[in-house]
Amino acid sequence: MVTEQQVVCKYCLSPNVSKFGTHNGIQRYWCKDEVLSIGV
């Protein structure tokens, strides 16, 4: 069984994020609450 890790914004800890492409092979996410782009 594969479980997906819950991604949260590292600034506001909101789980309300969506994938926003990649940069140098690192998946980036868009925080819908803070309107920030974050790399995980």
Question: pLDDT-derived band of residue 22, with 50, 70 and 90 as boundaries?
Answer: very high
Mean pLDDT confidence for 9-34:
89
Q: What percent of the chain has pLDDT over 70?
A: 75
Distance of alpha carbon 36 from the chain centroid? 9
What residues make up the domain containing 39? 1-40
Torsion sign across C-alpha atoms 20, 28, 26, 7: negative
Q: The pTM is what?
A: 0.64
Number of domains in the chain: 1
